[in-house]
Structure 1
Amino acid sequence: MRTRVITAVVALIIFVPLLIIGSWPLLILTIAMGVVGVSEILRMKHRFLVSAEAIISFIGVVAIILPNSFWQTVPLIRSSHIVFYILAFLMVLNTIFVKNRFNFDDAGALVLTMLYVGIGFHYFYQADTVGLSTVMFGMLIVWITDSGAYMVGRAIGKNKLAPKISPNKTWEGSIGGSVVAVIVVPTLFALCHWLPEYHYLELLFFTIMLSIAGQLGDLIESGFKRHYGVKDSGNILPGHGGILDRFDSMLVVMPLMSILGMLG
């Protein structure tokens, strides 16, 4: 517990100022987290981090995370979609040269990894460029839902939510976490006028959707770990696991915020 608390404090000391500053410092941190997230999945798959498929994956996740405005300044390319297509093609082409140790299923998994991690962190950075209140809205929903689910689950949880994927989660905890988030987050933001462009009912609807999405993101990452037989995605955060362990919900919540029109 002591290690967990120390790691959390140090991470917040680094993370919060960069979140407030935004711009290039936050983009560099976001790219670093994306690269580490991809490396965690590569390690789960027992892939060397200096292999051709790893290098393609790293370049791909960086290309997707970079803001759209960056690509508009690059001659001939103009979009990360073109870069991603080229890299996906190279990933599949790699199966020809190292067929005995890298097949089409491996290529598909890493292409999906680039999308899953890259898009999640792309919209995380975009949320901050829209405004600190916007990114904090998504993050608070995730944190409060997670804390509420833990407390309610421990108190009254009996019915398993997904026993084969995450045996400690219960339906009572899941519903309770969302209820706590729905009560706290819209009320807090409405009273403090942190997102004045939205009515209370809109914030309420957003919170319900994002709270559910965050829990699904958690289950997705739990499914990865269960499939690959690991307890944590990594160990870069002592006491907390890896980057994917800490940002699994955000990788789903932030893209959904864009779909809901919150990111412009």
Structure 2
Amino acid sequence: MKQRIITAVIALAIFIPILIMGGFWIDFAAAALAYVGISEVYIMRKRIIVSFDFILTTLGVMALTVPITFYKGWLPSSISRLDILYIFSILLLLWTVFSKNKFNFEDAGVSIVSMAYIGTGFHYLAAIRNVNGTDFYGFKLLIFALLIVWITDSGAYFVGRAIGKHKLFPYISPNKTWEGSIGGTVIAVIIATIYAMYFLPNIDFTYIIIISIIASIAGQLGDLVESAYKRFYRVKDSGKILPGHGGILDRFDSMLIVLPLLHLFGLV
């Protein structure tokens, strides 16, 4: 527990100033987190992280993470993030040929999905913070998303411990319960809605409630997705970069699902 607290304090001392500054700093942080995240996928799969396919996948996830304006001046102005995903997907598929199937179609599939999942999630970590708007709108919106994720997680833990009896997905995550899941969502929606009333007053009240409910559920599903692939690869944590907390994917599993949702809901 002591180690977890120390790691959390140090991480927040680094992360919060970056969130406040935004701009280049959050773009750089998002790209760095994406690099570590994709490395964790390769390590879980027991694949070499100095291989050509790792280099391609890393370039792909970084290209998906950084703002599209990064390519302005040296790529066609019409290029989109979907185009970038397609280009790197084709390159990985071509490598199955040139590697003589030492890197095969299934390997390419995992790399492509990982690129899309990690790259898109961390892209919106920076994109939300850097969204144009007055009165620190992007920062407030990002805190709104983080609140939903963190409060859902904490609420589900304490409610589940207190009254949890019915297992949610016992094979994937044996400690999670329906009572904890519902309780976490209710608490998160209440607190996130109160926060939005004061800090995001321009967003419709009913819409905030709907978004909070969906984001809370999506965050829990993101957690379960990570539990599923960790169980598949037979690892306890995605990595060891955060002593007492595991890896980057362990800490950002819910946010990788929730942050792009804010874009889908038209808030970014």
Which category describes the TM-score, using the shorter chain as reference length? over 0.9
Q: Relative to structure 1, is the Cα distance of residues 204 and 83 closer, same or farther in structure 2, using a 3 angstrom cutoff?
A: closer
Number of matched residues? 261
Deviations 1:84-105 (A, max 9, x none): 3222111111112333532101
TM-score (norm 1): 0.95
Q: Does 1:122 align with 2:123?
A: yes
1:234 is matched with which residue? 239
Q: Does 1:35 align with 2:35?
A: yes
Kindly indicate whether the alpha-carbon contact (under 8 Å) linking 1:72 and 1:79 is maintained by their aligned counterparts in 2.
no
Root mean square deviation of aligned Cα: 1.2
Write out aligned runs for 1:114-263 (5 A): 114-130=115-131, 131-190=138-197, 193-263=198-268
For 1:168, what is the secondary structure of its paired residue? strand
* Cα distance, 1:124 vs structure 2: 1.3
2:95 is matched with which residue? 94
* Counterpart Cα distance in 2 of 1:39 and 1:153: 33
* Cα distance, 1:75 vs structure 2: 3.2
Larger CA deviation: 125-134 vs 11-20: 125-134
* Counterpart Cα distance in 2 of 1:261 and 1:73: 28
* Cα distance, 1:25 vs structure 2: 1.0
| Structure 1 segments unaligned to the other structure (5+ residues) | none
* Counterpart Cα distance in 2 of 1:219 and 1:112: 17
1:61 is matched with which residue? 61
Kindly indicate whether the alpha-carbon contact (under 8 Å) linking 1:30 and 1:121 is maintained by their aligned counterparts in 2.
yes
Q: Which amino acid aligns with 1:222?
A: S
Q: Does 1:103 align with 2:104?
A: yes
Larger CA deviation: 70-79 vs 143-152: 70-79
1:73 is matched with which residue? 73
1:7 is matched with which residue? 7
Identity of aligned residues (%): 51
Q: Does 1:17 align with 2:22?
A: no
TM-score (norm 2): 0.94
2:135 is matched with which residue? none
Larger CA deviation: 65-74 vs 112-121: 65-74
* Counterpart Cα distance in 2 of 1:83 and 1:171: 39
Q: Which amino acid aligns with 1:153?
A: G
Deviations 1:133-181 (A, max 9, x none): 0100000000000000000000011111001100110001000000111
Larger CA deviation: 85-94 vs 117-126: 85-94
